[in-house]
Amino acid sequence: MANSAEIIGKRLYRAGCRRAFGIPGGEVLVLMDGLRKSGIEFVLTKHENCAGFMAEGGFHSDGAPGILVATLGPGVTNAVNVVANAFQDRVPLIFLSGCVDDLETLTYTHQVLDHSELLKSITKASIKVVDGAVDIAIDKALAIALDGQPGPVHVDLPISLAGKSQPTADVPAEGNMIVRNMPSQSTPADGADLETARNWLREAKRPLLIAGVDVLNQHVENAVAEFARDFRIPLITTYKAKGVLPEDDPLALGGAGLSPLADEQLLQLVRESNLIILAGYDPIEMRVGWRNPWDEGARVLEFCAVPNTHYMHRASLSFIGDVGEGLKTLRKGVSANSVWKNGEPEKVRSELKSIFPGTGTSDTNEVWGPAAVIDVVRKTLPRNGVATVDSGAHRILLSQQWECYEARGLLQSTALCTMGCAVPLAIGFRLNSTERPVVAFVGDAGMEMVLGELATLRDLKLPVVIIVFVDESLALIELKQRNSGLPNLGVDFGATDFPAVAEALGGIGRWVSNRDELREGLDGAFERETFSLLACKIGERVYDGRF
C-alpha cells in the first residue's frame, strides 16, 4: 500500500519529473517524503518565488513539468508571482501545496485562506485532492498543465490525506514517459481554406514568418526552420522563440518584443509583406505596436496551438493544431518562389546590426558599457551555452543584441516580465544540464531581490556565472520617469558591494570595469565548484537612445 504522497510522487516521476523546489512547512512534510521515496529530489530554496523559477529552468532543460512545493498560507501567497508568470509565459508548472482538512476549515483560522480562490485567475486549474482519487487528481493536473498551451496547475493536498493509504495505483515502470493528454498531431483539413492558403503561398512575393512560444511548446522548431529555409522566407521571432532559426542565419531577423527601435524596422517589413505566416505566435509577449500590425486587407495565415481569442490581431485564415504539421501540409504541391527581389529583409537585418552593434561577429564600438559586457560574454560563452536575463533596461538591449543559436538558448520572463527570474532560472537549468555553461544577466535591483538564492547556489555547488549590471538605479524606470518629465523619485539607490556578498555566501565575486577584467573573470568560471558573480560597473544613465 502506498500513501497519497507516494502516489503523487510516482505519477510525477512517471511524467519525467526528477526534482521539486520549495520551502517546507509542517503541512507538506509527508508530501515531501512521498516525493523522495518516488525518486524526486527536493531542492530547498530561500523563497517560493525563486523555487518556481528554478522549476521552470529545469523544464527548459528536460521538458518535464516543473514542481513547486509550498506550505499553506504564507507559502502559497509567496508563490503568487511565479504562478502568474507560468500562466502568462506558458510554463507547465505543478504547484503542490498543503492545506487543512475540510473539517478543520469550519473552526480553525490560523494561516487558513482559500488557496484555490486566490490562484483562480492565474492557474489553468486548481485541484483539491480527494480520498480515493489521488492518482486521478495528479494525472489530471499533469494533463491540464501540458494541454494546448502549457500553464500552471495547483494541487492542494489536505494534511491528513497525505499520509493516508490508498489502493496502489497502477504505475508502469518505464521512467521517462511524459504524460501527454494531447490530441494526436492534427493537420489542416483538405478543403477550400487550405487551397486558398496554398495559392497565397504560390503567389507570395514578399512572405514573412513570425514565430512564437508555441513552436517551442510543440517542439516543432525544426519544421519551422526547414520551412523558412526551403522557401527563403525571413523569420521574425518573439523573444521566447529566439533561436528557432540560428540567429546567424541570414534569414533570421532576430527577436521582436520590447524595443521601439527594432520594432520600427520590423513592423515596416510586416507592412510591406504580402503574406504573413504566423507560426505558434502568441502576442502575449508583445507591446502595443504589435496590435493589428498589418493592414486590413493583408493576407495572414495563422498556425496556432489554440484558437485566437486574444484579439490582439486578426488573421485571414487560422489553422489550429500542430504548427509543424500545418506548415508541412501547406507546402504540399507548392514550390519555392523567388522572393523579396529588392532585398528588403537583408537591409532590415543589417540596419538592426548597426542599431545594436555587437550582434554576432560584429564588434561594438563601445569601449565599455552594457553593450560591451554583452559582447564579451557572448563571444566567450560556447555556442551551446545558455543565458538567462532579468527584467530591466539591460534586458531590452540584451534581447536585441544577444545572438541565439538554438531555441531556449535565452530564458527570460517575456509575458509577465517580472524581475527576479534570471538567477533562479539559471540555477534550475544548470542543475539538469550539467554539461552546458549557464550565465545569468541581471540588473542590480533584480540581483538585490534574489540575493538569498546565492546561498542556494552555494549549497548546490553549481558553476553558474552571474553578470550584474551595476548602475545603482532601476534604469528602465528611471528612464521612463525622466522621459515623462517627472522628478526623480524612488528609482535610484545606494551602492552594494556585490562581490563581498557573493564571497560571504560561498561564491567568487569580482568587480569588473573593463573588457579585460570581464574576460579574466569569466576564465574558468564555468568549471568551478561554485558560482561566480561579476559585478560590472557600467555607470549611470547609460541606456538613453539605445533601444
Ligand X SMILES: Cc1ncc(C[n+]2csc(CCOP(=O)(O)OP(=O)(O)O)c2C)c(N)n1
Q: Does residue 476 interact with ligand X by CB under 6 A? A: yes
Our CB check for ligand X shows the closer of 53 and 290 to be 53
Q: Considering only residues 73, 283, 443, 499, which one is a binding residue for ligand X as defined by CB under 6 A?
A: 443
Q: Where in 142-201 is the site for ligand X (CB under 6 A)?
A: none
What's the CA gap between 237 and 245, in Å, rounded?
9
Q: Does residue 477 interact with ligand X by CB under 6 A? A: yes
Stretch that binds Mg ion, among 73-81, 344-352, 444-452, 528-536 (CB under 5 A): 444-452
Stretch that binds ligand X, among 216-224, 250-258, 302-310, 475-483 (CB under 6 A): 475-483
3-state secondary structure string across 445-481: HHHHHCCCHHHHHHHHCCCCEEEEEECCECHHHHHHH
409 binds, among Mg ion, ligand X, none (CB under 5 to 8 A by kind): none
Q: Does residue 417 interact with ligand X by CB under 6 A? A: yes
Q: Does residue 373 interact with ligand X by CB under 6 A? A: no
Q: Considering only residues 78, 97, 414, 418, which one is a binding residue for ligand X as defined by CB under 6 A?
A: 418
Q: Does residue 473 interact with ligand X by CB under 6 A? A: yes
Query: Are 430 and 464 a contacting pair, CB within 8 Å?
Result: yes
Pairing of β 317-320 and β 386-389: unpaired
Q: Considering only residues 233, 286, 419, 536, which one is a binding residue for ligand X as defined by CB under 6 A?
A: 419
393 binds, among Mg ion, ligand X, none (CB under 5 to 8 A by kind): ligand X
Give the N- to C-terminal CA distance of the chain in Å, as an integer: 60
Stretch that binds ligand X, among 243-251, 297-305, 355-363, 465-473 (CB under 6 A): 465-473
How many beta carbons lie within 10 A of that of residue 114, not counting itself? Answer: 13
Number of residues that bind ligand X (CB under 6 A): 20
Burial 515-532 (b: 16+ CB within 10 A, else e): bebbeebbeebbeeebbb
Query: Are 130 and 164 a contacting pair, CB within 8 Å?
Result: no
391 binds, among Mg ion, ligand X, none (CB under 5 to 8 A by kind): ligand X
Q: Considering only residues 79, 444, 465, 532, which one is a binding residue for ligand X as defined by CB under 6 A?
A: 444
Q: Where in 471-500 is the site for Mg ion (CB under 5 A)?
A: 471, 473, 475
CB of 476 to ligand X, least distance (A): 4
Q: What is the CA radius of gyration of the chain?
A: 24
To the nearest 10°, report the CA torsion of 49, 54, 57, 62: -130
Our CB check for ligand X shows the closer of 427 and 431 to be 427
Q: Does residue 471 interact with ligand X by CB under 6 A? A: yes
Q: Considering only residues 391, 399, 401, 456, which one is a binding residue for ligand X as defined by CB under 6 A?
A: 391
What's the CA gap between 276 and 292, in Å, rounded?
12
Q: Does residue 326 interact with ligand X by CB under 6 A? A: no
What's the CA gap between 163 and 153, in Å, rounded?
22
DSSP 3-state of 159: helix
398 binds, among ligand X, Mg ion, none (CB under 5 to 8 A by kind): none
Our CB check for ligand X shows the closer of 302 and 453 to be 453
Stretch that binds Mg ion, among 14-22, 83-91, 443-451, 482-490 (CB under 5 A): 443-451
Q: Considering only residues 236, 393, 440, 502, which one is a binding residue for ligand X as defined by CB under 6 A?
A: 393
Number of residues that bind Mg ion (CB under 5 A): 5
Give the number of C-alpha atoms closer than 13 A to the C-alpha of residue 383, restricted to the C-beta side.
8
What's the CA gap between 526 and 438, in Å, rounded?
7
Q: Where in 286-315 is the site for Mg ion (CB under 5 A)?
A: none
Stretch that binds ligand X, among 9-17, 328-336, 459-467, 473-481 (CB under 6 A): 473-481
Residue 407 is given by DSSP the state T
Q: Does residue 475 interact with ligand X by CB under 6 A? A: yes
Our CB check for ligand X shows the closer of 40 and 468 to be 468
424 binds, among Mg ion, ligand X, none (CB under 5 to 8 A by kind): none
Stretch that binds ligand X, among 188-196, 205-213, 278-286, 413-421 (CB under 6 A): 413-421
Our CB check for ligand X shows the closer of 305 and 475 to be 475
Query: Sheet holding 93-99: strands in order across?
Result: 41-44, 19-23, 66-70, 93-99, 152-158, 125-128
What's the CA gap between 322 and 401, in Å, rounded?
31
Q: Does residue 542 interact with ligand X by CB under 6 A? A: no
Q: Does residue 443 interact with Mg ion by CB under 5 A? A: yes
Query: Sheet holding 317-320: strands in order across?
Result: 252-256, 235-238, 207-211, 275-279, 300-304, 317-320
Our CB check for ligand X shows the closer of 82 and 93 to be 82
Q: Does residue 469 interact with ligand X by CB under 6 A? A: yes
Specify the residue for cell string 521538458: 63
Stretch that binds ligand X, among 108-116, 145-153, 178-186, 468-476 (CB under 6 A): 468-476
Identify the CA nearest to 50 among candidates 25, 29, 15, 75.
Answer: 75
Our CB check for ligand X shows the closer of 220 and 445 to be 445
| Cell numbers placing 234 | 525571413
3-state secondary structure string across 496-519: CCHHHHHHHCCCEEEEECCHHHHH
Q: Does residue 27 interact with Mg ion by CB under 5 A? A: no
What's the CA gap between 462 and 59, in Å, rounded?
18
Stretch that binds ligand X, among 123-131, 142-150, 265-273, 384-392 (CB under 6 A): 384-392
What's the CA gap between 470 and 502, in Å, rounded?
14
| Cell numbers placing 218 | 510543440
Interface residues toward Mg ion, by CB under 5 A: 443-444, 471, 473, 475
Interface residues toward ligand X, by CB under 6 A: 390-394, 417-420, 443-446, 469, 471, 473-477
